[in-house]
Copies of this chain bind each other. A is one copy, B any other.
Amino acid sequence: MTEMTRELIQKCLAEQATGAWSDDSELSAVASQLSRSSRAGSGQVAVASRGLPSRTAIIEMVESIRSVLFPEFFGFPAGSDRVLFQVGMALDHGMRLLREQLNIVLGYHQDQELATRALKEQCVRDISRGFMRNLCRVQSLLETDAQAALSGDPAATSAAEIALCYPGLFAMTNYRLAHELHRLGVPVISRIITEHAHSITGIDIHPGAQIGESFFIDHGTGVVIGETSIIGNRVRLYHGVTLGAKTFQKGEDGALVKGAPRHPIVEDDVVIYAGATVLGRITIGRGSVIGGNVWLTHSVPPGSVVTQGKPLEQHRASDGKI
């Protein structure tokens, strides 16, 4: 493909040099180069010919589910009986959208078990049913997260403020929904759900991460929680905290080993301050406090306090340069 593309670029530049084209023939020439070169793209034709999930539909699905998880905060008349019907309608809408997208991605990740239409339909039904059945558990987990924000942030004034304003709760809702789909083996869709939250909040949580209850991310921008991270209960992270990988295993072919455990384990009741970078399959012992902007690549025992070395302080030069 790169071969072909180089060739096209040569042609492109040559014609540019001669400046021969008219605007119309030029347009169609470039269009054909773009479509040809990408048609030749690495296995992408195969992918596309089987269809791709719709980000728009998936986001609409998530918003429907979000509204049934927090009905009071999405215009439903809580306390009345009508809320039941409205929740039912929103849930039904969300589940329809999910089934449509499952049909696409399962087709696209087709393999033996899905060889026949019947088997695929069975699979879509089982996944969507399993997902729906876990929504009440997701709801109660999110209530512990909202409570952790209310009791953990002096600036939080009400449950309404948290539900309407707090990016951490928005991101955790997307993550907890995506994690359920991830556990059910659904590809791509779960990642689109968490990346949508990443775009809105700056909080990047991989659907594969395991996170306990009463989890609070304050402010959140720049938080990264990697695929194989394991986080206990009552953990609090501030913005810019990274739970990442340090080195990657390579197989004999030199390609990266996918899915190997490579992110931190954070035990119960740990607090990690803004901008701390914690890398590798290490363990932060229960109840530890990690200070801001620390670079930590080794395990620390329970009850540890880790802070950055003392900064250098001097008096400002007249020109204010540092």
Contact yes or no, A78 B49, CB < 8 A:
yes
Chain B hits for A257, CB < 8 A: 154
Say yes or no for A92: interface residue by CB 8 A criterion: yes
Contact yes or no, A33 B136, CB < 8 A:
yes
If A154-B260, A159-B44 touch, does A240 touch B222 (CB 8 Å cutoff)? Answer: yes
Residues of A within 8 A of B (CB-CB), count: 151
If A48-B72, A221-B221, A222-B240 touch, does A198 touch B140 (CB 8 Å cutoff)? Answer: no
Copies in the complex: 3
Chain B hits for A307, CB < 8 A: 295, 311-312, 322
Say yes or no for A175: interface residue by CB 8 A criterion: no
Interface residues of A in 238-287 (CB under 8 A from B): 238-240, 242, 244-249, 255-260, 262, 271, 273-277, 279, 287
Q: A30-B135, A287-B316 are in contact. List 17 more A-B contacts (CB 8 A).
A: A33-B136, A34-B87, A35-B83, A37-B139, A39-B78, A41-B72, A152-B256, A154-B227, A155-B227, A161-B191, A204-B221, A204-B239, A222-B239, A246-B322, A289-B322, A294-B308, A308-B311
Q: Which 9 A-B pairs have the closest CB atoms?
A: A48-B72, A277-B292, A31-B88, A5-B140, A48-B78, A303-B316, A295-B308, A35-B87, A165-B195
